[in-house]
């Protein structure tokens, strides 16, 4: 994302919603981690239950509109 980092930036919006989307925290797991995943041994419930090491935003609900913002960002990306 080509904007200044900050809590109201596009990159923060996308990060927040992406984490909320893929989190399994307090939800039926659609993509359970395998039994050998080290996060299963974490003392943090958020890590064990969400399936993610980054626990920011795992309890939130994602805004489906963020996927449109991701698509726009991909379209705006100049190929190397």
pLDDT for 1 beyond 80:
no
Question: What pLDDT, on a 0 to 100 scale, did the predictor assign at position 33?
Answer: 87
What sign results for the dihedral spanned by CA atoms 48, 52, 56, 57? negative
Question: What pLDDT, on a 0 to 100 scale, did the predictor assign at position 59?
Answer: 94
Q: What is the value of pTM for the model shown?
A: 0.82
The pLDDT tens digits of the residues spanning 14-68 come to 999 999 999 999 888 777 888 899 999 999 999 999 999 999 999 999 999 999 9
């Amino acid at each position: 994302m080509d904007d200044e980092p900050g809590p109201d930036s596009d990159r923060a919006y996308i990060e927040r919603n992406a984490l909320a989307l893929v989190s399994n925290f307090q939800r039926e797991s659609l993509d359970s981690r395998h039994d050998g995943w080290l996060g299963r041994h974490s003392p943090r419930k958020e890590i064990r239950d969400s399936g993610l090491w980054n626990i920011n935003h795992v309890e939130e609900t994602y805004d489906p509109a963020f996927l449109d913002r991701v698509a726009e960002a991909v379209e705006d990306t100049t190929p190397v």
